[in-house]
Chains A and B, each alone.
Chain A
Amino acid sequence: MAKILIIDDDPDMILALRLCLEDAGYEIIEAESGNEGLEKVKSENPDLIVLDVMMDTATEGFQVALTLRSTDPESEYAPYHQIPILMLTAIHTTTPLRFGPDEEYLPVDDFIEKPLNPDLLVQKVKSLLTART
């Protein structure tokens, strides 16, 4: 079954995500910071990444996404470009019109708002995984 990496510094959020996704049959790996997340990408090679937009600092989530999808051919994350990223956003953090899975703004594949809607989460994860296979 597919392996999902959750990168989030809020342990409650991680628990909620874990319960929801394990219930749907996925294997879960956790990371509690951006750096830990990047390491685990390399060591575990997950099938999907769930990334929280705001962790310790306001830009940590963005930084992880940008690093993972870096266009630099020398980047050590180049082999992991294909892994779909689902971004967790807080409601109203950015203008709805400007924030989207748009290469120009942010290289993620989809986003979902907090608080969690379990059905919606599973639905999005499923469609992201099937799109990539």
Chain B
Amino acid sequence: MGAEPGDIANVTTRLIQIRWGAGILVPLATAVCVHLLDLPLPAHILYLVGVCILVYNAVLVWVARRLYSPKPALYLRRLQRFVLLQVALDWLSMTVFLHLTGGVSSPAIPIYAIHMLSVTILLPSPSPYIYTALGVGALAVIAVLERMAILPHYTVIPILPPGLQLDPIYILAQIAFFTMAATATVHLATLVMTRLREHERQVTALLETTQTVSSTLSLPEVLERLAISAAKALATSRASIRLLDETGEHLHMAVALGLSEEYQTKGLVDVSRSPLDQEALSGNVVIVKQTATDQRIQYPKQVIKEGIGSILVAPIIGRGRPLGVLRVYADQPDRFTSGDADFVLAIARQGAVALENALAHETLQHADKERAQFVRTITHELRAPVSGAQSLLRVLLKLRKVKLNPQQRDILARVEARFDFLAALINDLLALAASKTAGFQKAPEPVALQPILGECIDQLAHEISEKRISMAYEAPDTMLTVCASAEGLAQIFSNLIGNAVKYTPPGGELTVHLTQRTGSAVITISDTGIGIPAKDLPHLWEEFFRASNARRSQIVGTGLGLSIVKRLVDSFGGLISVQSVEGKGTTFTVSLLVTPFDKPTS
């Protein structure tokens, strides 16, 4: 087997099972032959042999159980030694059995075939041939020893002429044909095993490629995994991937596995001057059998210097258009076969799919980032003039020396209100756009709630005192942390608390309360403001929705705030609810899962 401990373990288990059969069959057959057929077998020794087989098989079972190790390399080594142990014991018992059943004239000689085949399955070349030699050798030694009467001869089949085992021609014939048959069997079995292992390896590699390459959307990772898969599949250590640029005329090195710096930077490959790549890009796999003599290589000196003997180039074809080439390098010339070519082509096809996905993902991310940047730029450009206009209006309306009649003051106040609305709308649109752009959202991390709540309240301190609103903030001493982004939380609470301040008439009350309730942090923001009519409550989270009483009031609002808050709360996996009585007040309740506080890794 290749290097799979599991497979070896399975086969050895099977062998142990078969051996139980052998251990029982030997005494049984002996009993039948001796008592029923009256054959002159050395019954007692044969019984002994059977018992021995059973005993050592039991020992093998016991050893097998203690072989396991969590370290695969160690487990493999142990299994391999175990296999050798079994093979040795079997060879011994087989040799004894052959001697006891007639030596060179034993009818049991073909049973050796079972051993030879199992050795071919379990051990790599040249072990099967060595075993064959040992088997033939053992038989030859028995024959010689019996002929020289050092060992007794047992005639199992009575009709055979006595002294058969003494005839040199008979001995030579038996051994010669046995050797030929054994060698041929082992040779053919080895061929089969080699093909089997090869196919197994290819299938595993292909499966692995599919899994690993498609499991990521990151372009560099896809490329690296593809190169590694291809190299592994062809049992080499060097591979590279080159991708076509937009013009389709140049290939740039995207991944280089096991190649020296020198080789990698030999320059942008001009497709028109590289016959290898041209041929590959047209859809064929190209094999360079001998780098020393192949005319198609663009930089032969560097290739030789790098120690590359043969190259296999496969095209990576996307949907309808070539994406690049995959190259696998081997130290020896003539390493790659047409079977390898088919195989690498299959891998390259898998890779192409994953590559296209990764490229699409990259394009999407790029577009996303550009859009986010665009939104930010626009809002900044819009804010500056609006802010300038607001500043001037406010100053004008506040200046003591400015004499305005009531109507002029009223008009200016209306203009100011319009600009205030515009500014609020710009801010809210930016926040809304941000919440809809995937790339804009920061990764959640543990964030403490108390500092954020405190900061939001501080920012509104001026407005709160101006409106003479009595503010109460209660929070526990122990820091409560949730998994979210600091900016997101700041947005949520400055919006909710800001609304409470905005919609509460002067002299009102505002309470912000933070507490922990069974694994969640619960924040309630209650005010004694204008409240929300019951019929408007279900629509509160809709974009641009404003409650009817809010609309009728003079209070400026864009209708976006709560939709942004809801999006953010949802993205953090939290819950938000509202209770309100029109004319009395409103309470918003936000709950977020508490996370244990870890030092955030920077």
Contact = CB atoms under 8 A, between A and B. Distances in A.
Contact of A13 (B383, B386, B388, B427): B388
Given A95-B486, A96-B459, A115 B427 contact: no
Contacts of B396: 19
A90 B383 contact: yes
Interface stretch (A102-110, A116-124, A125-133): A116-124
Contact of B452 (A16, A90, A97): A97
Nearest to A96: B455
B392 A15 contact: yes
A23 B400 contact: yes
Interface in B386-404: 386-392, 394-396, 398-401
18 contacts: A10-B388, A12-B388, A15-B392, A16-B388, A16-B392, A16-B394, A19-B396, A19-B399, A20-B399, A90-B384, A90-B387, A95-B490, A97-B490, A116-B395, A117-B394, A118-B395, A118-B398, A120-B462
A119 B465 CA distance: 13
Interface string B88-100: 0000000000000
Interface of B: 380, 383-384, 386-392, 394-396, 398-401, 423, 427, 430, 451-452, 455-456, 459, 462, 486-487, 490, 494
Given A19-B395, A20-B395, A20-B398, A117 B462 contact: yes
Interface string A6-25: 00001011011101100100
Given A23-B400, A92-B427, A114 B394 contact: no
B451 A116 contact: no
Given A19-B399, A97-B451, A97-B452, A12 B389 contact: yes
Contact of B455 (A15, A16, A91, A97): A97
Contacts of B430: 92
A114 B427 CA distance: 13
A115 B490 CA distance: 20
A41 B427 CA distance: 35
A114 B400 CA distance: 21
Nearest to B466: A119
A119 B455 contact: no
Contact of B427 (A19, A91, A95, A118): A91
A89 to B, nearest CB: 11
Contacts of B427: 91-92
B160 to A, nearest CB: 101
Contact of B394 (A12, A91, A118): A118
A15 B401 CA distance: 15
A133 B352 CA distance: 73
Contacts of A23: 398-401
Contacts of A15: 392
Interface string A42-65: 000000000000000000000000
Contacts of A90: 380, 383-384, 387
A23 B398 CA distance: 9
Contacts of B423: 91, 115
Contacts of A97: 451-452, 455, 486, 490
Interface in A61-92: 90-92
Contacts of A92: 427, 430
A10 B392 CA distance: 12
Q: Kindly list the 5 A-B residue pairs having the minimum CB-CB distance in the complex, ordered from nearest.
A: A115-B390, A116-B391, A16-B391, A12-B388, A118-B398
Contacts of B380: 90
A90 B384 CA distance: 8
B320 to A, nearest CB: 44
A86 to B, nearest CB: 15
Nearest to B416: A115
B449 to A, nearest CB: 12
B459 A114 contact: no
A29 to B, nearest CB: 18
Given A90-B383, A97-B486, A12 B398 contact: no
A27 B494 CA distance: 36
A114 B399 contact: no
Contacts of A96: 455-456, 459, 490, 494
A95 B486 CA distance: 9
B363 to A, nearest CB: 28
Contacts of B494: 96
Given A10-B384, A90-B384, A91-B427, A115 B455 contact: no
A114 B451 CA distance: 24
Contacts of A118: 394-395, 398
B215 to A, nearest CB: 35
Contacts of B390: 114-116
A119 B391 CA distance: 12
A55 to B, nearest CB: 11
Contacts of A115: 386-388, 390-391, 394, 423
Nearest to B430: A92
A83 to B, nearest CB: 23
Contacts of A12: 388-389, 391-392
B544 to A, nearest CB: 20
A131 B398 CA distance: 26
B370 to A, nearest CB: 19
A119 B388 contact: no
**Interface hub of A10, A114, A119, A120 (most chain B Cβ within 10 A):** A114
A119 B490 contact: no
**Interface hub of B386, B394, B423, B430 (most chain A Cβ within 10 A):** B394
Given A23-B399, A90-B384, A91-B387, 15 more contacts: A10-B384, A12-B392, A16-B395, A17-B391, A19-B396, A23-B398, A92-B430, A96-B490, A115-B387, A115-B388, A115-B390, A115-B394, A118-B395, A118-B398, A119-B398
Nearest to B487: A95
A40 B552 CA distance: 50
A15 B115 CA distance: 103
A114 B419 CA distance: 13
Contacts of B395: 16, 19-20, 116, 118
Contacts of A19: 395-396, 399
A115 B387 CA distance: 5
A97 to B, nearest CB: 6
Nearest to B431: A92
**Interface hub of B384, B430, B456 (most chain A Cβ within 10 A):** B384
A96 B456 CA distance: 8
Contacts of B400: 23
Nearest to B459: A96
A116 B430 CA distance: 21
Contacts of B486: 95, 97
B487 A114 contact: no
Nearest to B389: A12
